[in-house]
Chains A and B, each alone.
Chain A
Amino acid sequence: MLLAQIIVNGVLLGGLYGLMALGMALVWGVLNIVNLAHGAFVMLGGYIVYYLFTTLGIDPLAALPIAMALMFAFGYLLQYVVLNQIIRSAMLNTLLITFGLDVVLTYLAQLGFSADFRTIAPSYAGANFGLLGITVPVAPLAAFAIAWLLAGLTWLLLNRLPLGRAIRATAQNLVAARLYGVNPRRLYAVTFGIGAALAGASGGLYGMISHLSPYVGAPLTAKAFVIAVIGGLHNPFAVVASGLIIGIAESLAALYVGPTYANVISFGLLVLILVLRPSRALRAA
Chain B
Amino acid sequence: MNAQVTPLLEISRLNGGYGAVPVLFGVDLVIHPGEIVALVGNNGAGKTTLLRAISRVITASGGMKFDGEDLLPLTPEQVFARRLVQVPEGRQLFGRMTVEENLLMGANRRGNRAAIARSFDWVYGLLPKLAERRRQLAGNMSGGEQQMCAIARALMAEPRLLMIDEMSLGLAPIIVDQLLAILDTIRKQSVAIFLVEQDVFAAFSVADRGYVMETGRIVQTGTAQELSNDESVRAAYLGAEAGA
Contact = CB atoms under 8 A, between A and B. Distances in A.
Interface stretch (A96-104, A168-176, A190-198): A168-176
B94 A179 contact: no
Interface residues of B, number: 24
A182 B94 contact: no
Given A169-B94, A169-B97, A173-B95, A180 B57 contact: no
Interface string B83-110: 0011010001111110001001110110
A176 B75 contact: no
A88 interface: no
- Scoring A172, A178, A180, A234 by chain B CB atoms within 10 A of each residue's CB, the highest score goes to A180
A168 B102 CA distance: 11
A164 to B, nearest CB: 10
B121 interface: no
B94 A172 contact: yes
B96 A180 contact: no
Given A165-B101, A168-B97, A173-B95, A181 B81 contact: yes
Nearest to B163: A179
B92 A173 contact: yes
Given A173-B92, A175-B88, A175-B92, A180 B97 contact: no
A179 B82 CA distance: 12
B77 A181 contact: yes
Task: Give chain B's interface secondary structure class.
Answer: loop
Question: Chain A contact residues (Cβ within 8 angstroms of B): what range?
Answer: 10 to 19
A169 B88 CA distance: 15
A279 interface: no
Given A169-B97, A173-B95, A175-B92, A162 B76 contact: no
Given A165-B97, A181-B109, A176 B81 contact: no
Contact of A183 (B55, B77, B95, B104): B77
A226 interface: no
A166 interface: yes
A165 B107 CA distance: 12
A179 B109 contact: no
A168 B109 contact: no
Given A165-B104, A166-B108, A182-B108, A176 B76 contact: no
B32 to A, nearest CB: 23
Given A162-B108, A165-B105, 12 more contacts: A162-B104, A166-B105, A168-B94, A168-B96, A172-B95, A172-B97, A173-B92, A179-B57, A180-B105, A180-B157, A181-B81, A181-B108
Interface of A: 162, 165-166, 168-169, 172-173, 175-183, 234
